[in-house]
């Protein structure tokens, strides 16, 4: 089968490799759509482990099932989670499924940018979700990123009466925007340095989309009766964006660190200014649990979260280098979908 082998962001090679063989309890998926995630272009994170097959936002059809698999059969339309928790450890029992050691070790074989992939037994048990006949495969690639967004917003209590600032209007920031609006946030402001993304934010329902170069916390005060934001969601990895976020949250508010920085980067924090007498909460969020996946799929299939309008490019596997360049450049694209069977 064909696979896109990752060596660097500007070096992906299409090669023929063996189709994975499945064992008892496993599933072979024919990959119909696979999204390029912002984490796929974090070159510093994986450059010492190449060559790799990346891709984890996948949807497709069950091609074959191993002995003992009863809940799925060949021909089923599915999406799948690449990381799944054990549901038995201390972290899982206390609601922190996404820091479970099993979740951190599980994955597809070999990855989503291929024609076929093997879903291991533990993933079959916790991480396969059937799609309705009306759900497009490319829509289902959003289940994984939406699960991550759901988990983050649940942790910080996005809802009615909340004034929300989203720093960064890339794919993750725009998903946060769509979910916050669906949850009834009172007012949602987004920022970015790119006009294409700011225009997308306006189309997707932002009450205000501001060029980051022109942004100041005073703009939030003018829109929010003299107060800063109740919730700030950081979807940009630049430390300057994080500095803006730290100055934009109101007393009693919450900041969600959703995007990672570059390798080794840090941000200065003034304990007195930020915490003393302010009751500000700093939260982080990583990945999504099986329950988050199920909820994300329900939101997409019900039409409550429209993801089709976020897809800007659909490319065959042989065009994946073009797709990575689009995501790396971060301009004129929101979501790039790879179609391995094309």
User: pLDDT tens digits for 205-255?
Assistant: 999 999 999 999 999 999 999 999 999 999 999 999 999 999 999 999 999
User: pLDDT tens digits for 161-216?
Assistant: 999 999 999 999 999 999 999 999 999 999 999 999 999 999 999 999 999 999 99
Beta strand pairing status for 57-65 and 77-80? antiparallel
Max intra-chain CA distance, the chain:
63
Distance CA 75, CA 95 (A): 34
Distance CA 238, CA 168 (A): 9
Contact at 8 Å (CB) between 269 and 238?
A: no
Contact at 8 Å (CB) between 38 and 328?
A: no
- Would you state the pLDDT for residue 270? 87
Strands of 163-167's sheet, edge to edge?
Answer: 208-211, 187-192, 163-167, 229-234, 249-257, 281-284
All domains of the chain, ordered by start, with CATH? 2-142+307-339 (3.90.180.10), 149-284 (3.40.50.720)
pTM for the predicted model, two decimal places: 0.96
Asked if the model's pLDDT at residue 272 lies above 90, the reply is: no
Asked if the model's pLDDT at residue 284 lies above 90, the reply is: yes
Pull the structure tokens for residue 33. Answer: 């759509």
Distance CA 95, CA 78 (A): 26
Residue 274's pLDDT band, with cuts at 50, 70 and 90, is confident
- Would you state the pLDDT for residue 331? 87
User: pLDDT tens digits for 295-308?
Assistant: 999 999 999 999 99
Q: How is residue 267 annotated by DSSP? A: -
CB atoms within 10 A of CB 92: 19
Residue 275's pLDDT band, with cuts at 50, 70 and 90, is confident
Question: Whats the size of the chain, residue-wise?
Answer: 342
Asked if the model's pLDDT at residue 101 lies above 90, the reply is: yes
Average pLDDT of every residue of the chain: 96
Q: Which of 3-12, 205-214, 272-281 has the lowest mean pLDDT?
A: 272-281
Distance CA 28, CA 42 (A): 28
Q: How is residue 65 annotated by DSSP? A: E
User: pLDDT tens digits for 147-164?
Assistant: 999 999 999 999 999 999
Q: Please, how many CA atoms are within 13 Å of residue 286, restricted to the half-sphere of its CB?
A: 12
Contact at 8 Å (CB) between 33 and 55?
A: no
The average pLDDT across 35-50 equals: 96
User: pLDDT tens digits for 294-341?
Assistant: 999 999 999 999 999 999 999 999 999 999 999 999 889 999 999 999
């Amino acid at each position: 089968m064909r696979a896109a082998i990752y060596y660097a962001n500007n070096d992906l090679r299409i090669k023929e490799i063996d189709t994975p063989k499945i064992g008892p309890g496993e599933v072979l998926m024919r990959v119909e759509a696979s999204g390029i995630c912002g984490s796929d272009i974090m070159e510093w994170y994986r450059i010492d482990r190449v060559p790799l097959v990346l891709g984890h936002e996948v949807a497709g059809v069950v091609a074959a099932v191993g002995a003992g698999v009863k809940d799925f059969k060949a021909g089923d339309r599915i999406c799948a989670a690449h990381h799944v928790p054990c549901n038995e450890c201390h972290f899982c029992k206390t609601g922190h499924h996404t820091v479970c050691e099993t979740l951190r070790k599980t994955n597809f074989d070999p990855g989503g940018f291929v024609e076929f992939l093997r879903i291991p037994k533990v993933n079959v048990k916790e991480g396969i979700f059937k799609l309705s006949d009306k759900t497009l495969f490319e829509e289902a690639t959003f289940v994984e990123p939406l699960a991550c967004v759901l988990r983050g917003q649940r942790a910080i209590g996005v809802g009615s009466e909340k004034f929300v600032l989203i720093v960064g209007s890339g794919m993750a920031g725009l998903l946060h925007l769509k979910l916050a609006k669906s949850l009834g946030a009172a007012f949602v402001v987004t920022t970015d340095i790119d006009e294409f993304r700011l225009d997308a934010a306006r189309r997707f329902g932002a009450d205000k989309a501001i060029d980051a170069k022109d942004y100041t916390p005073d703009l939030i005060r003018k829109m929010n009766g003299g107060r800063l934001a109740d919730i700030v969601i950081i979807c940009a990895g630049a430390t300057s964006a994080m500095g803006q976020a730290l100055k934009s949250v109101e007393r009693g508010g919450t900041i969600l660190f959703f995007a990672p920085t570059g390798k080794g980067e840090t941000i200065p924090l003034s304990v007195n200014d930020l915490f003393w007498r302010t009751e500000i909460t700093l939260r982080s969020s990583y990945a999504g649990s099986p329950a988050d996946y199920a909820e994300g799929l329900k939101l997409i299939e019900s039409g409550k979260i429209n993801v089709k309008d976020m897809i800007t490019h659909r490319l065959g596997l042989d065009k994946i280098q073009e797709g990575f360049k689009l995501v790396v450049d971060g301009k004129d694209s929101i979501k790039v979908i790879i179609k391995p069977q094309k």
